[in-house]
Each structure stands twice: as C-alpha cells, then as structure tokens.
Chain A
Amino acid sequence: MKLKTTLLAASAVMAVLAGGVNAKTLVYCSEGSPDGFDPAPYASGTTFDASARTIYSRLVEFAPGTTSIVPGLAESWTISDDGLVYTFKLRAGVKFQTTDYFTPTRDLNADDIIFSFDRQGNAENPFNQYVPGVSYEYFTSMGLDTMIASMEKVDDLTVKFTLSAPNAPFLSDLGMDFASIVSKEYADKLLAEGKGADFNNNPIGTGPFQFVAYQKDAVIRYKANDTYFGTRPAIDDLVFAISTDAAVRAQKLLANECQIMPYPAPADIEALKANPDLTMMEQAGLNVAYLAYNTLQAPFDNVNVRKALNMAINKQAIIDAVFQGTGVVAKNPIPPTMWSYNDAIVDDPYDPEMAKQMLADAGVTDLSMKIWAMPVQRPYMPNARRTAELMQADLAAIGVTAEIVSYEWGEYLKNSTALDRDGAVILGWTGDNGDPDNFMNVLLSCQSAGEGGSNRAHWCNEEFSALLTQAAQSTDQAERTSLYEQAQVIFKDQAPWLTIDHSTVFMPMSNKVTGYVMSPLGSHEFATVDIAE
C-alpha cells in the first residue's frame, strides 16, 4: 500500500514535471559538475556550458549553429587599416542581472569590458587573485596576454583595444567563453566586503539566464533573465541535472526526467534514434584525430616513409569499427565544416602494395615502431587502443612491426611533447573558436614545435608557418582563406600526420523540445529553446 502511495505520488510529480503547470521548465541532463561559475579561470566545456553559455554574454558572439562572429554586447566595431586597433561600440541599456545577492545600480559600460580582460592579464589588478592561486590559462594560452597592448575607455559606451601585432583571430577569441563580460561593480562590492570567492559561487552576468542555486554535484537551477538584452528565453526555468554516466543519462531521458542530453554512449545511439518520443540531432564535430609521427627521428624524418605508412592504414575500417560508422575520414588537419577547408586535396590512397614499394624504395626494411594509444576517451577518439590495434594489423601487412604503448593521461600529454619521443602518437583537437589558426597554428606551426608544445609531430616547415603568420595578420577573409588553403596543400604533401577522422556529435532530445541549435564548437545553449506543454 505504501509503495502504491509512493508510486502515485511519484506519478503526480512526474506529471507536474512533464507538464510544467506554472512555468515552462527544461531539464538538461548535463555530463558533469562545473568547476565554478566564473568562466575565466577554467577550461572545461562542462564549466562553460554552466556559466559562460547561460549566465554571461561577450562583446561578440558566434551566431547560433555557426562559427561566424555576430554582434553581442558590442553592437558594432571598427578595425584600423593596420589591423592594430579594434574599437567597439557597446549596446546601450544592457542590464546586469538582479538577484537576491546583488542589485546593479548602473548599466553595462566600458569599465566592465576593460575590467573583464584586465583582471585576467594584469597581476596588479586587485581582482587578479580574488581566490588565492587562481590562474587564467585560456587567456594566456590564446596569447591575449601578449596580444593586447592596451585597452582604453573612449566613453561609457566605446572601448578601444590596441594590439601589439595584427591578429585576425582576435575577434573570434573575444567570442570565447573565457572572454565573458563580468560586472566590475559587483566585483568591487565583493572586494570591499572581503567576499571575493563569492564571485565564483554567486555569478552575475548579462546572459539569457540568471543563476538561482547550485547543489554541488547534483543540480544547477537557473531562471530566464527578464532584463536580457536579446530575446527573452521561451522557457522560464532551466535545470541542469548532473548525471555523469552516459547510460544513466539515456535512461533519464527515456523516463522524461530530463528532456535533452549530451554525449550519448555510441552503443545507445541506435536505440535512442529508434525511440518515437525522441529526436536525435547530429552534427559534424569541429575536431580532428591524428597520428603524429616524430619527424625529427629517422626514418620518420623522411616524407616518403611517412606517406608510405599513411597509405598502409585503412582509415575507413577505423571509422566503421571504432566510430560505428558515425564519423568521416579526415584528409586535412581542419574539419570540413570550417571555412578555408581545402576540399580539392586528394587524400593518400589506401594502397598497401604501393606502401610496401615506397618503403623499399626509401631503403627501409624490418621497420619497428611504437604507436601511442591514449588512455582516455575524447569526443574525437572514443577508443584509441582499438584504433591502434587496427593500425598495427595494417602495418603488419606491409612488414612493419608496431608495438602499442600507453601511459597515464597526464604523463601521456607530457611525454608526447618530448623531442626524442619514440613512436607515433594518437591525439586530437577540438576547436576553440572556429578559426583555422586555432587548428593549424596550435598543432603544426614551428612556434608550437618545441618541448612542451602542442605540435606533437615536431614538424617545422618554414613555408607552412610563414603562410599561417601571414594569414593571422591579414584581416581580408578571402586572402586568409587562400593562404590556409595553400597551407593545407603543404601539409598533405609533407604528411607530418596520418589524419584519422572528424567525429560526429549527437544530441538526443524529447520531441517536445523545439528550437535547439547544435553549436559546431560543442557548447550547449538554451536561449532559443522552447518546450511544448
């Protein structure tokens, strides 16, 4: 009887949850807990979804579903002819959120913009260490610490950034999560009260939702920001139900305990697709997985050996076995959804006979090598060990003995950057801002080829790097496109990597959810979402 009562009560609760009697509520089964609610000191997408993409806005934004830059808090901007000075005109009347812990007395102005960046790059800023030991890794790693020479408030609604050198990706950088605009007034208030840490726990922004409460590792609650400068969200309440296990997230979605979830397990995708109550959205991920040779070591310093190995590996078989067919074979270092992708490039064909011949021509016999397989799953690589095994078998067919090695993830990341690394490394990349510079410069330039750098092939091609530098300094999109296309030709010709795949990202949701737009950058945003009653 008691159980029956309990079940009846549960049904009533579920009915309320599903029906949304008073307010429209969307429950999102998020994949993990945020580290905090100030996006600047963090680097995980989970944290950004819970902070930057809900609570905050930026000077410029990525248009929904694209990587194109559109106005955000800045309604317009101009770039000087030399590409050094960016002048942003701010929207008037933008309000910071009013909550039970903060009531703003003024609208957003240039002080907030300057403060948002200065606190990250200037150690003297009183808010730089608002929590002892805090660091701003994204700001530094995107190079903004050296890129921004100065910031100036022209008037309340005009702010001017002067760069140390022309840098076209700068605008895209400003659309990234770490560049979210925070309230100087709120920071000053907390500092005066000696409660700096609250900045990270009780956030205030100008975004579509405002923070209500966070129960650690369990639930985050938001409500629509009625004073949002854009279109107010159609849903009234947004709830993140934190569920780390993918299979459990799928069960919650099926039970309508949540209406939308990210990162389904590959094994669940077919079943979720087949469910008539659910819709499965999918999109090519802005990512690439690769096998980087150590081009400093013989025989991998020989381009013909690298090409021969590339031709020995059946990449489609990897897509079929490891990705259950849900990805595309990669031929370029950037994904096909990115502007300047050079589709004219022809991939090295899968041709074991030719590969064997090329190795013999290069004088390489009885080659033994190591393949490094990552110990973790990433969106671009769900199973590196299995991938390595398939490569091992393909290489054995041309007489190359491959040994598979792996290390703890932190060690893997570090040791794979060593200049004397023994073996080819499986790794990948997910784009930060949709700019080709964020792939090719980070992963393949001479600048990032040193010890500890992200160019794991240690490949330094002066001509390639010069093209990237020229492209980064140009503000002419057509010219940049052409330069990146040329760079891809050199990359393919020199084959520092075996380009493996670009994976597909899935987003299952209830049929009642409308207006959801998948972001190619992998973020999850709900400002445009509605839910049918």
Chain B
Amino acid sequence: MIKFILGRLTYLIPTFIGITIVAFSFVRILPGDPVLLMAGERGMTPEHYQEMMARLGFDRPIWEQYLEYLWRLLHGNFGDSINTKQPVLSDFLALFPATLELAFCAIIIAVAIGVPVGVLAALKRGSWFDQTTMTVALIGYSMPIFWWGLLLIIFFSGTLGWTPVSGRISLMFYFPTPTGFMLIDSLLSGQKGAFASAAEHLILPSIVLATIPLAVIARQTRSAMLEVLGEDYVRTAKAKGLAPGRVVGVHALRNAMIPVITTIGLQIGVLMAGAILTETIFSWPGIGKWMVDSISRRDYPVVQSGLLLIAGIVMVVNLIVDLLYGLINPRIRHS
C-alpha cells in the first residue's frame, strides 16, 4: 500500500509544476493588466504606466518573473494581492473554510440523494420512478446555476419567507470564528440560535451547489448498477439463493461504486467551479467569489496562487479517491 501511495505521489510533482506554469501564464494571456484597470477612465501617460508596471515588477522578462514566483513558492510565499495588499495565503485561509463548508454540505446532499436514487432507478429500470428521476436529473444537469439560485431565493426567501436571502449567518450574531466553519463556530460561541441560523443559511446555497453533482451522481450510479446487475457473478449470487438485499448491497453496489467514486472525485472540480456562481449569488464569502473578483481585476498574484491552491486541493482529493479505489478493489492496488 505504501508503494502504491508513493507511486501516486510521484505523479503529483510534475503535475504541480505544470499547474504553476498554467496558472502563471493563464492570467497573463488574458488581455488587459492591473495597471490599466487601476487607471480607469482617467487614463495614464505611457511614462506613468511604465513606472507603475516597474513598481509591481511586471516590466521584467516573463521567465524571470516566473522563476521568482517559483522561488517564492518554494519558500512558502504566495505573494500579496495588488489591490488589497494582503498576503494571498492569509486571504485564502480566511475564505477557504466558507467554501469547504458549503462544498461539504453540497456533496453530502448530492451523495445522500444521488446514490440511492440511482440504485433505485436501476433496480426499477423503465418504471415511472426511473423515467421521472432521470428526466429531473437531466434538467438538473443542464440548470444554469445563477438563474436557479435566484429562482430559489425569490421563491423560498422572497415569497414564502422560509429561508434567509444570503450570507452565512444572521447579522445579529457576532462572535469570533476561530475555525472559519460557521456551523462549528456558532456552536462554540454558545449563543442561542446561532447554530440554527448558520444551518438555515446553508440550505439554499447547498441545494444550488449540489444540483449538478447530484444529477451526475444519480445518472452514473444508475448506469454503473445496470452494468453490474447484468454480470455473471450477480446472476450466480442470485442463483445461489442469496437474499436480494445482499445481492444488491454487497455484490452489485460495491462493484458499481468504483465508477461512482471516480465521478464523486471529479465532482470536486465541478463544485469549485459551481462555487464561483453560487457564492456570488448568495454573498457567500468564499474563494470562488474571491477568484472571480481577482480575475476581473487582473490581480496576478491572487489569480496565480489562488489557482494553484485550488488545484492543489483538487489533486489531494483525487489522490484520496485513488487510495479509496485501492481499498475497494485490491486488483488496482496490486497492479
């Protein structure tokens, strides 16, 4: 197992270097630069423009800037934001728990509903349940997130008044947030009603963010189950006279879970992308919104280091998924 983990880890190093190159060049390929945007309608003389670019170090050859960036990274320095002058890492650490909390709730919803629905749809293939859920899943998969979020806000918060419109907790609550996870911090605060407020603020954004992964997981579970249910060993298990629940739960589901776990792992990337829109609609102070703001302002240090940190997290999640394969299917571990 250790050899297997080490093997996977060696893949990470070239991937990491690749990501630094992509992240570094991506933001510079975009037209425009931070100094032009800072000048705005007022404009800037060519001399002053050059002076500003030099002050920020953007006048030097691109490879020199990249090597310096890499050198700083190796020393744990992710750079400072051009706009806020704050260290990128401290902003990331302040905002990331909000995104993680939201993504965690969303993935729980997506798996808790998506897997059983997919299994049931496969077992009752062709039934009204199968057809209805798969049609709903297709709609969910194609849902424009921004529109969907706004629709839920208008209905549940505006018309019915059941849920708060946006934010992480009612503004009435004010307490230190040592962990950054509002559900935990609200409990630690000991303030009455704080946890309930944090939880209800999570409902709509989690549903919105879970929508696409839920649809994908349900459809993937269904097709994986259908494939496995047609396998010889399932027929054999049935022929042996095993209880149907055991055939499905142990023999079929366990094998069907391999592609499903792959899908769940891949949804982490989808969640990060979905978080950008979800966070914008729900005024959720996470890294998605932070990245969008920084891209639109061409805040190079934030974009390049932010992308790197997000990519690093996706890589770690995928590594965990790889390790899970090994646990579920020993053949992968030994191959």
Contact = CB atoms under 8 A, between A and B. Distances in A.
Interface of A: 5-7, 9-10, 12-14, 16-17, 25, 27, 32-33, 35-36, 41, 43, 131-135, 137, 140-141, 197, 200-201, 213, 215-219, 221, 239, 241-245, 247-248, 251-252, 254-255, 257, 407-411, 413-414, 417, 427-429, 442, 448, 450-454
A408 B172 CA distance: 41
B30 A248 contact: no
Contacts of A448: 43
A452 B36 CA distance: 10
B56 interface: yes
Contacts of A245: 150, 280-281, 283
B104 to A, nearest CB: 18
Contacts of B293: 32-33
Contacts of B197: 9-10, 13
**Which 9 residue pairs across A and B have the least CB separation, nearest first?**
A410-B32, A410-B36, A217-B285, A218-B285, A408-B31, A454-B43, A9-B196, A243-B283, A131-B85
Contacts of B167: 218-219, 241, 243, 257
Nearest to B298: A410
A215 B290 CA distance: 13
A444 to B, nearest CB: 13
Contacts of B150: 245, 247-248
B41 interface: yes
Contact of B44 (A247, A257, A452): A452
B170 interface: yes
Contacts of B83: 35
A134 B85 contact: yes
A105 B316 CA distance: 52
Nearest to A33: B293
Given A217-B285, A257-B166, A450-B45, 9 more contacts: A12-B193, A133-B55, A248-B166, A257-B167, A411-B36, A413-B41, A448-B43, A452-B46, A453-B45
Contacts of B33: 410
Given A17-B170, A216-B285, A248-B283, A257 B165 contact: yes
A35 B85 CA distance: 8
Residue from B41, B44, B150, B161 having most chain A Cβ neighbours under 10 A: B41
B158 interface: yes
Contacts of A218: 167-168, 283, 285
Nearest to B289: A217
A255 B161 contact: yes
A42 B280 CA distance: 23
Most chain B C-beta atoms within 10 Å of own C-beta, residue among A5, A137, A451 = A137
Interface in B192-232: 193, 196-197, 199-200
Given A244-B280, A251-B158, A133 B56 contact: yes
A451 B37 contact: no
B39 interface: yes
B179 interface: no
A51 B206 CA distance: 33
12 contacts: A6-B199, A9-B197, A13-B193, A35-B84, A131-B85, A219-B171, A239-B171, A248-B283, A255-B157, A410-B37, A413-B40, A452-B43
A274 B102 CA distance: 35
B285 A257 contact: no
A513 B7 CA distance: 64
A417 B43 contact: yes
Contact of A221 (B41, B91, B174): B174
A221 B83 CA distance: 21
Interface in B27-53: 30-33, 36-46, 48-49, 52
Contacts of B173: 13
B153 interface: yes
B196 A6 contact: yes
Interface string B283-296: 10110011001000
Given A13-B170, A410-B37, A252 B165 contact: yes
B37 to A, nearest CB: 5
Contacts of A25: 171
A362 B327 CA distance: 83
A248 B147 CA distance: 12
Contacts of B44: 452
Interface string B174-200: 100100000000000000010011011
A245 B283 CA distance: 8
B59 to A, nearest CB: 13
A248 B282 contact: yes
A207 B42 CA distance: 29
B196 A251 contact: no
A429 B69 CA distance: 37
A257 B164 contact: yes
B154 A251 contact: yes
A251 B157 contact: yes
Contacts of A16: 172
Contacts of A409: 32, 37
Contacts of A239: 171
A513 B287 CA distance: 34
A451 B168 contact: no
A453 B158 contact: no
Contacts of B41: 413, 427-429, 454
Given A43-B38, A216-B91, A255 B193 contact: no
Contacts of B138: none
A36 B84 contact: yes
Contact of A135 (B31, B52, B193, B281): B52
